Structure 1
Amino acid sequence: MSVGIIMLVHTALDRAEQVARHWASHGCPVVIHADKLVPQDEYQKFAASLSNLQNVRVFRKFSCEWGTWGLVAASQAASEIALSEFPDIGHVYLTSGACLPLRPVEELVDYLAGHADVDFIESASICDVPWTIGGLDTERFSLFFPFSWKQQRYLFDRSVDVQRLLRIKRKVPGNLTPHLGSQWWCLTRNTMTKVLADPNRTKYDRYFSKVWIPDESYFQTLSRLHSRHIESRSLTLAKFDFQGKPHVFYDDHLPLLHRSDCFVARKIWPYADKLYQEFLNRPTSQLRRAEPIPQKIDRIFDKAVERRTRGRPGLLMQSRFPKKGWENNITNSEYSVFEGFDQVIEDFPAWLASVTKARVHGHLFACDRVEFDDGQTVFDGCLSNQPGLRDYAPKDFLLNLVWNTQGEHQCFQFGPQDKQKISQTLVQDANARISVITGAWAIALSKSTEPAEIIRKRAASFQRIEKAHIELLRSSKTKAKVKIWSLAEFLEAPVEHLQPIVKTISKLPHSPLTEAPKLTDLSGFGTFLQQLKNMGMPPYLIGDFPIAEDTKDGVRTYRKSRVMR
């Protein structure tokens, strides 16, 4: 079996020809759709340049403007040609003219042969992801979008305003549940055939033709109807900045692209000669058989976005003019807040108290009680452990707790399962030292025996709460001292991350930690995360935790107690 490559091209046709020849020379049939807006003479020259290749087809039929139905229609037409003219195709891989293979083609063919029934397509429920930028998430499926967002922006915006005013709400056809994801997918022949031959295709096409950015939802939704097995991830490295614009890769990104282990990357600068020379001339002897994990470099992109949006500490610039706060601190002394540590480290409060001699509480803002140190029902200053009294004025509760224990450093746990009203106070308090391990809430869920759907909904809820909390911590108005790790990042070097925390709050003579505290058993955790993804709930806050830890001979196996249906 071979892999059929679909290419959507509109610019840099010389680079598209170069990549197409690379695919074709390694036995992969290629079907290329050129944008209808490409000048006729350029298109004819491009088609003629590839006419000598028996396994390449070039055609031009649709206008493929960003965010419009033409992109889906072109993908459909190209897939139909690929499946009808090349019967040995096992998977159909969608790429663009700005895509570049990062690994030998033989690796991709072998990998897909080992996953013959697997569809690699990012497909997440619209209720569980915050990817959309611009204010249109669920509305992209409930309103009509007859105008181009780029070319007819005024009409686009006014159309949305009128539909909101008239409370127009489109009905999703059939039993479809809208899903979103990257438009760069790799589907099996079986799934693609069923999508194209679906008896309701005319109805589905009519509906999605008026959806906003349908190339991010059409195949992502229909594959849920027809796929035997979805891996909710893309084999293509495609990164976007905080404004939703794609990152462009240049020659100096070469080491970064090597680290990703992805099979394909976009968007490549057409003049990145070094990248094209490196990746299109790699010998087959360099086969690595590595699992493609684009999340491996997410941390670098996250830091780049943070640098771009927040600037460097102490650096003043015209786009980030400082504004001083009106209050002289909220509390009178420093205290520490730990988020996720009690999930990662066994009996964390007792361990932290033993190495620092600080007062370490449990979850002071738990929903059902106030978890004072040693289970006390009444704390210093007659503070009660009754949640009703605390919740009447949570800010005052915190002020009193810190005031009543002057001279003693207070520490407590916090997380998405707690009452969140105190978050704003914590962020605005310069005395707060907040340490966060994002995604740690998933550890307890991975050990839960509750039904899979309940776990998924709870995970989605915790993730939404934590994301909002992290955004608050990273806001420009934050005065607290904040340190944030993803779960995967923290687990790489727990002692290294814990050492400065212990040193800051410890009352004992400083001595470096020589070994990490006892960590929670994470057996099967990687499999649990992939199952969440496969159900449409990607745990993106956890970081690049290995997704294939429970494997045998390269094939992922699922323990029955963890299988989610």
Structure 2
Amino acid sequence: MAKIAYILLCHKDPDAIIDQARRLTAAGDCISVHFDARAGAEEFNRIKSALADDENVTFAAKRIKCGWGEWSLVQATLHALQAAEQAFPRATHFYMLSGDCMAIKTAQYIHQFLDVRDADYIESFDFFQSNWIKTGMKDDRLIYRHFFNERKNKALFYASVGLQRRLGLQRGIPDDIQVQIGSQWWCLRRRTIEAILAFIQDRPDVMRFFRTTWIPDETFFQSLVRHHVPETEIETRTLTFLMFSDYGMPVTFYNDQYDLLLGQDFLFARKISPEARDLKARLGDLYATRDVDFRISNEGRNLFEFLTQKGRVGRRFGRRAWETGSTLGRERELMIVVCKKWHVAKRLLDCIRKVTNLPAIEYLFNEEDTPLPDLGGIEGSLEKRTRHRRTLTRLLFEQFETDRLIVCMDPSSFELMQDFYEDRSQTRLLEVSCQFSDAYLIGHARRVGLLGHLTNEASLEHLLPTIRNDIDFESDRIRDAGFSTYAQMSERFSQEENATALQGFLSISREKAVQIVEMDHLFSD
């Protein structure tokens, strides 16, 4: 069975560190602690004294002062690793933690998880080919030497980089190293750690290179693991659940997120708020529990993104060139059917086709496999269709040899509706409003990844009102936009009212409109 040596980097809260060490070692595992030298000696001595009688606890031989983005973080990790490798010869895995991390599974589950697959768990993506870095420096992290901390000495940091650029002082990467990048939170097997510790003794050139790179904790271990371990033995993922805000800051977890954390397909979570005492107590009790059946729903990141986007209207300040570079044609008429229940809109379109013989395309900009004619490749993906929407729609008019075309859109496609209304063509819009049961909303949330199939009832109760409000918001936004030639059909309206709306939208006879709305089960789920 797996025996884990936890590598703990921490800098504050001695009592929490003592509790964490005792909890992890009580399950039979080990821990090696590096306590930042920026913290006082008194706090460190308190930790050492409290854990002195635990043979499964060791400390880095040397404490160093750590700074974000610096080599010091890697050096501190290496000190703790070397201490753990020597002190715990029976450890099979080495798991990187911070003082803000806590287990979100039981020790029994974690050990069984690591036993199933003989692999290293570490994010390692090609530094130059991947898009792991979203903003800020990329190549400059490696090709220039960094002697100053960007956060503490911003002026010196950028002056140094600028001087190296002007003098052409770029450097090469060691020939046999393919630089990788990923999260600093990893779990590595003993033989991988032994290979890395031996390598750093034999390759001072590689050590010199990484010592002056920027943010090396995201590249050093990631690159050396790939250098020593076959790809088939690497799981390119972290086992620690963490999320980042729009501003690049770690998301902090609080007392009401216990169930969400347990439902994620990870072993630990970072970062737990120091004030979340109830959450920390519950997670602490959980670690020692046995035979827990975890319901993995794994919706955490999608749910966070969904909830944090609410209310962000008007994020775009100008039209893109490809949105305004073409027109459908002044003589053409585009009719847009908007409906959140896609199956309802598809039934309606099918009946419209049969009764009126008008060409109608289902969710052109929302559904990848919408049936479309060959248009030279522009129809190949949702991204292409959306980017070149006017060109695509004009080609559809030409393909069907018509001046009248119906398309379906999801109510979330508000910017598309605005764009088509700004075209010189004639645009009409019919909103088909439906009623939404809780069961339908749950199914919708699962289809878009906000919920997993095993999400618990408490999470559902919190999320359902938000989803319902989101649907209402999308509908209100369309109505408030003041689109001309707007009409509405509704599940709550009579057939007479729906026939009147459809007649005006399609410019057809009353008889045909009534024939369409009288179809069986139009609004059925």
TM-score for both structures, normalised by structure 1: 0.62
Q: Please say which of residues 13-22 and 402-411 is displaced more in the overlay.
A: 402-411
Q: How does 1:253-272 map to 2 (within 5 A)?
A: 253-272=257-276
Distance (whole Å) between structure 2 residues aligned to residue 114 and residue 24 of structure 1: 22
Note if contact 1:261-1:290 (Cα within 8 Å) is conserved in structure 2. no
- In the TM superposition, what whole-angstrom CA distance separates every residue of 1:443-472 from its partner, at most 9, and x where no partner exists? xxxxxxxxxxxxxxxxxxxxxxxxxxxxxx
Instruction: Read off the aligned partner of 2:47 and give its amino acid letter.
Output: F
Instruction: Read off the aligned partner of 1:173 and give its amino acid letter.
Output: P
Note if contact 1:195-1:201 (Cα within 8 Å) is conserved in structure 2. no
Instruction: Read off the aligned partner of 1:287 and give its amino acid letter.
Output: D
Shift of 1:137: 2.1
Residue 278 of structure 2 is aligned to residue 274 of structure 1: yes
Note if contact 1:123-1:221 (Cα within 8 Å) is conserved in structure 2. yes
Match of 1:408 in 2: 405
Shift of 1:141: 2.0
- In the TM superposition, what whole-angstrom CA distance separates every residue of 1:477-522 from its partner, at most 9, and x where no partner exists? xxxxxxx9998639989xx9xxx99x9999843744768xxxxxxx
1:361–1:213 CA distance, 2 compared to 1 (3 A): same
Match of 2:136 in 1: 135
1:487–1:155 CA distance, 2 compared to 1 (3 A): farther
1:325–1:61 CA distance, 2 compared to 1 (3 A): closer
Distance (whole Å) between structure 2 residues aligned to residue 232 and residue 376 of structure 1: 38
Match of 1:480 in 2: none
Match of 2:499 in 1: none
Q: 1:429 aligns with which of 415, 419, 427?
A: 419
Note if contact 1:122-1:231 (Cα within 8 Å) is conserved in structure 2. yes
Distance (whole Å) between structure 2 residues aligned to residue 276 and residue 3 of structure 1: 21
**Identity score, percent:** 27
Instruction: Read off the aligned partner of 2:243 and give its amino acid letter.
Output: K
- In the TM superposition, what whole-angstrom CA distance separates every residue of 1:153-199 from its partner, at most 9, and x where no partner exists? 11112223333344443211132111111111000001111111116
Distance (whole Å) between structure 2 residues aligned to residue 31 and residue 376 of structure 1: 61
Note if contact 2:36-2:64 (Cα within 8 Å) is conserved in structure 1. yes
Match of 2:93 in 1: 91
- In the TM superposition, what whole-angstrom CA distance separates every residue of 1:258-302 from its partner, at most 9, and x where no partner exists? 221421111111121101110111275553465978x53111121
Instruction: Read off the aligned partner of 2:291 and give its amino acid letter.
Output: L
- In the TM superposition, what whole-angstrom CA distance separates every residue of 1:308-366 from its partner, at most 9, and x where no partner exists? xxx355xxxxxx799798999966645589xxx9xxx9xxxx9997466363579999x
Distance (whole Å) between structure 2 residues aligned to residue 146 and residue 233 of structure 1: 30
Note if contact 2:68-2:215 (Cα within 8 Å) is conserved in structure 1. yes
Q: How does 1:379-458 map to 2 (within 5 A)?
A: 398=393, 405-410=402-407, 429-431=419-421
Shift of 1:254: 1.9
Residue 210 of structure 2 is aligned to residue 208 of structure 1: yes
Structure 2: unaligned runs, 5 residues or longer: 377-387, 410-414, 423-443, 454-467, 469-473, 476-488, 491-501, 507-515
Note if contact 2:303-2:451 (Cα within 8 Å) is conserved in structure 1. no
Q: How does 1:114-513 map to 2 (within 5 A)?
A: 114-115=116-117, 117-198=118-199, 200-228=202-230, 229-282=233-286, 284-288=288-292, 295-307=298-310, 311-313=311-313, 333-335=334-336, 354=350, 357=353, 359=359, 398=393, 405-410=402-407, 429-431=419-421, 489=449, 508-509=516-517, 511-512=521-522
Shift of 1:375: 6.0
- In the TM superposition, what whole-angstrom CA distance separates every residue of 1:200-229 from its partner, at most 9, and x where no partner exists? 442222111111111111111111111240
1:407–1:191 CA distance, 2 compared to 1 (3 A): same
Distance (whole Å) between structure 2 residues aligned to residue 352 and residue 167 of structure 1: 65
Match of 2:463 in 1: none
Note if contact 2:9-2:76 (Cα within 8 Å) is conserved in structure 1. yes
Distance (whole Å) between structure 1 residues aligned to residue 348 and residue 137 of structure 2: 45
Residue 51 of structure 2 is aligned to residue 47 of structure 1: no
- In the TM superposition, what whole-angstrom CA distance separates every residue of 1:36-73 from its partner, at most 9, and x where no partner exists? 11111221122212112111012442222111111111
Match of 1:5 in 2: 6
TM-score for both structures, normalised by structure 2: 0.66
Distance (whole Å) between structure 1 residues aligned to residue 56 and residue 335 of structure 2: 68
Match of 2:481 in 1: none
Give the aligned CA root-mean-square deviation in angstroms: 4.6
Match of 1:81 in 2: 83
1:406–1:206 CA distance, 2 compared to 1 (3 A): same
Shift of 1:121: 0.7
Residue 149 of structure 1 aligns to a residue whose secondary structure is: coil
Instruction: Read off the aligned partner of 1:235 and give its amino acid letter.
Output: L
Distance (whole Å) between structure 2 residues aligned to residue 492 and residue 257 of structure 1: 13
1:356–1:104 CA distance, 2 compared to 1 (3 A): farther
Structure 1: unaligned runs, 5 residues or longer: 314-319, 366-370, 378-392, 413-424, 433-483, 516-565
Note if contact 1:335-1:431 (Cα within 8 Å) is conserved in structure 2. no
Match of 1:536 in 2: none
The total of aligned residue pairs comes to 412
Note if contact 1:334-1:431 (Cα within 8 Å) is conserved in structure 2. no
Note if contact 2:127-2:179 (Cα within 8 Å) is conserved in structure 1. yes
Residue 79 of structure 1 aligns to a residue whose secondary structure is: helix
Note if contact 2:32-2:58 (Cα within 8 Å) is conserved in structure 1. yes
Which protein has the larger Cα radius of gyration, Structure 1 or Structure 2? Answer: 2
Residue 449 of structure 2 aligns to a residue whose secondary structure is: helix
Distance (whole Å) between structure 1 residues aligned to residue 360 and residue 132 of structure 2: 37
Shift of 1:31: 0.4
Distance (whole Å) between structure 1 residues aligned to residue 447 and residue 146 of structure 2: 40
